Structure 1
Amino acid sequence: MKREHVAELFRRLRELNPKPTTELEYATPFELLVAVILSAQATDVGVNKATRKLFPVANTPRQILALGEDGLKRYISTIGLFNGKAKNILETCRLLIERHGGEVPRERAALEALPGVGRKTANVVLNTAFGEPTIAVDTHIFRVANRTGLAPGKTVRAVEEKLLKVVPAEFRRDAHHWLILHGRYVCKARKPDCPRCAIRDLCAYKAKTRE
């Protein structure tokens, strides 16, 4: 995609949604971190249903540790892979207290050293909680980047690196939110809604839908 088309793509997405953000519900960096860990292979809607019950009871590392594994599982058992996620969250809480005074670190290496936190989760926390211009590539962004020709790549990391190169600086902080929402609601996996797509004339996808 030509540089001027990339800029126009993000101008249009910004016009539709000037202040995009995650659909996960959170009030603190720690709540966001827990929600993102829970969201792996799960929907934001499902995670929000669980955390609406969990966070009023326990929303700090010490409070969640006090619940214990069985106590935490009672709140998150509706979410896929909840057994492993419970273990990761409890160990993450322990490490946050031991290494970071109970606070969520702002450094990528420190975040990725936490159980259940990979590069994508670290990018989400750095971007959404701390305002860093990172781009977290999930399945939606991977699909949109390849389908449109914005930043084609065979791996998630390749797409992330290409996006960081091609997305103009003024759009970089919000880029991953715009692309996730576009992939979730318009450029859907099975049948993209091309007729109501704001960037369809910029998109390289050849099999555009007509209705």
Structure 2
Amino acid sequence: MSAPSSSGPPSAAGGRPSTALVRRARKVDRALAAAYPEARCELDFADAFELLVVTVLSAQTTDRRVNTTRPTLFAAYPDAPAMAAADRAHLEQILGPLGFFRAKTESLLKLSAALVADHDGEVPPRLEDLVKLPGVGRKTANVVLGNAFDVPGITVDTHFGRLARRLGWTEETDPVKVEHAVGALFPKRDWTMLSHHLIWHGRRRCHAKKPACGACPVSHWCPSFGDGPTDPVAAAALVKTQGPA
């Protein structure tokens, strides 16, 4: 893993994060774990192939919509060989409700073909192999590694990046630099659940435009407290049971 950038939160000598920052970040994670004990990947899946596919499909749509489409998709094409040989028109019909269905059909056909050609139809359990697959970046790869293979990974989606900056953990905007900076604050074993905690919090309370600051379980440690309503009643009205993907 590359060293975190020298810009951003206070660091100790040698570019390492300060002890105070590490302690504060870990307190936040513990509080979020208590607030969201059910935190998990919100995409439904039965195996690594399904998780890889639904994660790719989740771009520019909601997890709920992908979960609704999933049963029909995998009943027709349960594995990479079947999906690689799929009838394009039929696959487009299944993916129609997700939007951008032609582009997503093309992505799944190329992804499945690459799995068949390069990995005997199986999803590889290594980051360096996953990111070589068509349409798979570090974010998708870390979702699959952490949730299908129990290999710790940090998933820097828009929610994670926003919260990492609001919490003062980093000033980086590049997802890879955010991943490295935040990873330096936590034991590797915590990375996957940390990702779930921040993403759940970002979807439910710490919204992009109007965070529910007055109903936030980590407001005590948040330097951005006050970006949204601090009145508990006003803030509570902003809390969602499930936010946008």
Residue 106 in structure 1 maps to residue 121 in structure 2: no
Q: Which residue of 1 aligns with 2:227?
A: 207
Give 1 or 2: higher helix fraction. Answer: 1
How far, CA to CA, are the matches of 2:134 and 2:196 in structure 1? 24
5+ long unaligned stretches in structure 2: 1-19, 235-245
The answer (yes or no) to whether the contact 1:13–1:198 under 8 Å persists in 2 is yes
Q: Report the CA distance between 1:19 and its aligned residue.
A: 5.3
Q: Report the CA distance between 1:48 and its aligned residue.
A: 1.1
Q: Report the CA distance between 1:130 and its aligned residue.
A: 0.9
Q: Which residue of 2 aligns with 1:160?
A: 179
How far, CA to CA, are the matches of 1:106 and 1:67 in structure 2? 25
Distance 1:170 1:64, change over 3 A: closer
1:131 to 150, 156, 167: 150
1:5 to 6, 24, 32: 24
Q: Which residue of 2 aligns with 1:24?
A: 43
Task: State the 4+ residue runs in structure 1 displaced beyond 4 angstroms.
Answer: none
* 1:42-61 pair list within 5 angstroms: 42-61=61-80
CA RMSD of aligned residues (A): 1.6
Amino acid at match of 1:101: D
Per-residue CA deviations over 1:145-176 (Å, capped at 9, x if unaligned) read: 11121233122122111111112445223111
1:39 to 55, 58, 63: 58
Aligned length: 211
> Bigger shift: 162-171 or 141-150?
162-171
Q: Which residue of 2 aligns with 1:68?
A: 87
TM-score by length of 2: 0.81
Q: Report the CA distance between 1:92 and its aligned residue.
A: 1.3
Per-residue CA deviations over 1:28-57 (Å, capped at 9, x if unaligned) read: 100000001101122111111211321222
Q: Report the CA distance between 1:80 and its aligned residue.
A: 2.7
Amino acid at match of 2:153: T
How far, CA to CA, are the matches of 1:169 and 1:120 in structure 2? 16
Q: Report the CA distance between 1:123 and its aligned residue.
A: 1.1
Amino acid at match of 1:98: A
The answer (yes or no) to whether the contact 1:7–1:168 under 8 Å persists in 2 is no
Q: Which residue of 1 aligns with 2:167?
A: 148
Amino acid at match of 2:229: T
The answer (yes or no) to whether the contact 1:111–1:117 under 8 Å persists in 2 is yes
Q: Which residue of 1 aligns with 2:7?
A: none
The answer (yes or no) to whether the contact 1:73–1:83 under 8 Å persists in 2 is yes
How far, CA to CA, are the matches of 1:149 and 1:168 in structure 2? 18
The answer (yes or no) to whether the contact 2:114–2:134 under 8 Å persists in 1 is no
Amino acid at match of 1:63: A
Q: Which of the pair has more CA radius of gyration?
A: 2
TM-score by length of 1: 0.93
How far, CA to CA, are the matches of 1:126 and 1:58 in structure 2? 22
Amino acid at match of 1:181: W
Identical aligned residues as a percent: 36
